[in-house]
Structure 1
């Protein structure tokens, strides 16, 4: 469902389901994204599961792991440095660029770096120009790594990255810069999936980590397909709520890779439903049937959306200690009336044993009622505006969509190019169906405002910036970093 600050625990459930499937004798593998240092030390914390449903070693995975994020950061910024050198070396020549659209990235939440000026200090220090930083999970290199089918495809996509525009209005790419080979070399190890294990020795591939609110939110195609080679059942997750994660998983990852999910599981918590039902966060651990009932409207919209893709849907209730039998019964009855399977997940407390019921329901549903052929929210041939409107109106529930002058101009230019058939990747808040993070439940009768367009020519999708979403997060008043320490050689506070 739509995430709240109370948390949902989707990674814990994904891992728990893999544990449960293995517990009942099925060969299952889980394929997840790598955590980003920004949220790990910021507000969200780690992303390796929790309790008795974790991928291990948790501390390593949440920190530097195998260095994939560092390689992606280095590759992205190497392009920036070489581009800046090109601009410096070609001052006053016919090769000067009219506009640069490529920025920098770093895997740290740092609001001070969103907008910067480079090249200060005299001519020997480069050409003065505006720039800025995105967080590494928003890097186009990250998206390319996660969508590439092999090393050759990786290089092809890197060559196609749009860096800027020449004085005649034509595009300037990494291929024009002549450095695709060098950038591919930096990523030659990072493209290989990372194999780890869960707390119950279940195989887990952890590879790639784009955010779903500002990127496409899925682990790598290579890791997912490798898991499918070795497992009878593969569980993978898509970031944040189904309006962001599932939509992009289907409309970008599955569309481009040919993947066809047999089943989709929507993760729900009582605390999350209560927040969507108008209950204040300070009271969500108290029993509140009315809050649950009102919050179920959010779940219903997500179920409706998933079914529109031709998917069979199950609901996994991620159990917390404060949940009551009456609250759980209300959610179960809601699902029963809509002929949607329901199971409780208690893997956090009990590991695989706590996810056996969910695992049995998954197997039974796939065997007796698997998903139909995947439908998409829009067609490749649809005009860009139509693609955006179909997502905004049909998935988010918007009544109208408006475009800024900047966005309209960029869309007009794109429609004249071969990039018009690219899928859409909407960047918006994760806390709401709309672009307003405070609109809990189900947003209705709202206008969806498109502020800007970012062209990811190498990743082969169009990023659509909606509302006030930022591609570089800031830190909260009390970052998670304040709780992290090394005590007697052991990492504490990293969860």
Structure 2
């Protein structure tokens, strides 16, 4: 039997006008700013009017560590939203926007898959409503104003060797990681070394996703540190008077985007911070808006639970006053086998022993998430080759830990294939069993926060950091930044900093090689191991097969 591709399924969707989708949540037509017939932004005035309404229940979808076998976190998020609506619940989905870089590279889009997708898939995975372009423009406006200030006399005394603000673009382009700007003589300014990051790694992206409104957005933008003087005094964005113009560029991007699932249920798609260098969750304003309008809101956090869920709890929930009522951890039989030592080429053969061996990774995530005081259920994202014995092995393992694993067939069957999980999640969310707590208090020292995450979430034996890193953290504490949460930047593929170390390692060393202050976003980034903020394209990028067909339809997106 030939399966339809994601884009073929999305293209055949029977979409409803976006006004009808808004009406499901009680959003009046005049509060929607349409982008065509099937997507719209929700107006800020309407969002403000909701502030006194009670919140619905927040459900987080996270996952085991990613493997080449695939997990399907976004697919499960979308499917669960459809499943909740299918069993009679008023539910909305909240996910991140897709970045063009991974889309044309290797990872693909971010709209779900199979019969659990958000549409219009092509628009979402390309320019969408222009939010990422606005963030790119606002970020690079600040870059231009920094160099312009230096050119016209440098009255702030910026040390050109200590300009920390790099440029960004929404594309994978390794050639731009390290560049020299202002070559060509006096008229072009003072040459200096800098580089580009991908747009999703911009602090502006993180700020947009954590800001509560435009005033908060402008304040946070102003708080960003962009350079230092020769005396190492910080230069802020507001010192360059860039915060106002940047806010103007971000005015429309700040408003959440409303679209729909294949089953015509509401989905908010807004923001997309890098899950390594930032917190990897959709925007606070979209999540809060959804919570005011729906009884259940299903959202996700980037990568595995050791990165995404930890940052969702310790950064997003802490900063926004949110508390999840239940958590779903997505796992696949295929990924369990890979964690159990099976090569990708051999995943088709039944191997119950490997499944059992690989379940240690899942078990570690269950323990970690439960440690935040929230009820946990496992969603087994079904693949056609999974055998009954393999599925039973995962269910038995999870049951032995006091939790439950439920088989989900949403990829092939849509909301109908995930009703069992939907009922269980609603039961957990309504049961009042959540007693959410963060991992560490605000007043804990920055290095201690790093060590707490490393030992309690990653199960590391120790954390190493040279004297310069420790001195920098102390200096930030003395400058009033000690209360900030920590954003750990490490590989998503392992609990350790070695991407090839699967399973549930213990006693390893977490090396902190650099720390960065994201003063506007409101967190300190600890860079552990090798982390790339400007990815490159693979040997055979997806862009080679993306094209318009003879009928003018897009082919090759996934």
TM-score of the superposition, structure 2-length normalised? 0.87
Partner of 2:97: 34
The answer to whether 1:409 aligns with 2:471 is: yes
Matches within 5 A, 1:409-428: 409-428=471-490
Alpha-carbon distance in structure 2 between the residues aligned to 1:42 and 1:214: 19
Alpha-carbon distance in structure 1 between the residues aligned to 2:156 and 2:143: 21
The answer to whether 1:90 aligns with 2:164 is: no
Partner of 1:344: 407
SS of 1:416's equivalent? helix
The answer to whether 1:433 aligns with 2:495 is: yes
Check the 8 A contact 2:104/2:542 in 1, yes or no: yes
Partner of 2:537: 475
Partner of 1:368: 431
Check the 8 A contact 2:363/2:398 in 1, yes or no: no
Matches within 5 A, 1:302-341: 302-341=365-404
Check the 8 A contact 2:158/2:227 in 1, yes or no: no
Alpha-carbon distance in structure 2 between the residues aligned to 1:223 and 1:94: 37
Alpha-carbon distance in structure 1 between the residues aligned to 2:286 and 2:444: 30
Alpha-carbon distance in structure 2 between the residues aligned to 1:365 and 1:150: 32
Alpha-carbon distance in structure 2 between the residues aligned to 1:188 and 1:205: 18
**Structure 1 position 110, deviation (Å):** 1.0
Alpha-carbon distance in structure 2 between the residues aligned to 1:429 and 1:455: 20
**Structure 1 position 229, deviation (Å):** 1.1
Q: Report Cα offsets for 1:128-184 as digits up to 9, x if no partner.
A: 111011111110000000000001000000111101112333211111111211000
The answer to whether 1:484 aligns with 2:546 is: yes
The answer to whether 1:25 aligns with 2:88 is: yes
Alpha-carbon distance in structure 2 between the residues aligned to 1:286 and 1:474: 33
Partner of 1:443: 505
**Structure 1 position 345, deviation (Å):** 1.3
Alpha-carbon distance in structure 2 between the residues aligned to 1:68 and 1:127: 32
**Structure 1 position 406, deviation (Å):** 4.1
Q: Structure 1 residues 51-60 or 402-411, which shifts more?
A: 402-411
Partner of 1:400: 462
**Structure 1 position 485, deviation (Å):** 1.1
Matches within 5 A, 1:268-279: 268-279=331-342
Q: 2:347 aligns with which of 284, 287, 290?
A: 284
Q: Report Cα offsets for 1:174-205 as digits up to 9, x if no partner.
A: 11111211000000000000000000000000
SS of 2:457's equivalent? helix
The answer to whether 1:457 aligns with 2:519 is: yes
Runs of 4+ in 1 over 4 A off after TM superposition: none
Matches within 5 A, 1:35-114: 35-91=98-154, 95-97=157-159, 99-114=162-177
The answer to whether 1:143 aligns with 2:206 is: yes
TM-score of the superposition, structure 1-length normalised? 0.98
Runs of at least 5 residues in structure 1 that lack an aligned partner in the other structure: none
Check the 8 A contact 1:400/1:447 in 2, yes or no: yes
Matches within 5 A, 1:125-164: 125-164=188-227
Check the 8 A contact 1:37/1:62 in 2, yes or no: yes
Alpha-carbon distance in structure 2 between the residues aligned to 1:175 and 1:190: 20
Check the 8 A contact 1:87/1:97 in 2, yes or no: no
Distance change >3 Å, CA 22–CA 96, structure 1 → 2: closer
Partner of 2:262: 199
The answer to whether 1:226 aligns with 2:282 is: no
The answer to whether 1:5 aligns with 2:78 is: no
Partner of 1:166: 229
Check the 8 A contact 2:158/2:235 in 1, yes or no: no
Check the 8 A contact 1:52/1:351 in 2, yes or no: yes
Q: Report Cα offsets for 1:197-251 as digits up to 9, x if no partner.
A: 0000000000000121221100000000111111100000000100000000000
Alpha-carbon distance in structure 2 between the residues aligned to 1:405 and 1:100: 22
SS of 2:464's equivalent? strand
SS of 1:415's equivalent? helix
Runs of at least 5 residues in structure 2 that lack an aligned partner in the other structure: 1-63
**Structure 1 position 463, deviation (Å):** 1.0
SS of 1:448's equivalent? strand
Q: How many positions carry a matched residue from both structures?
A: 493
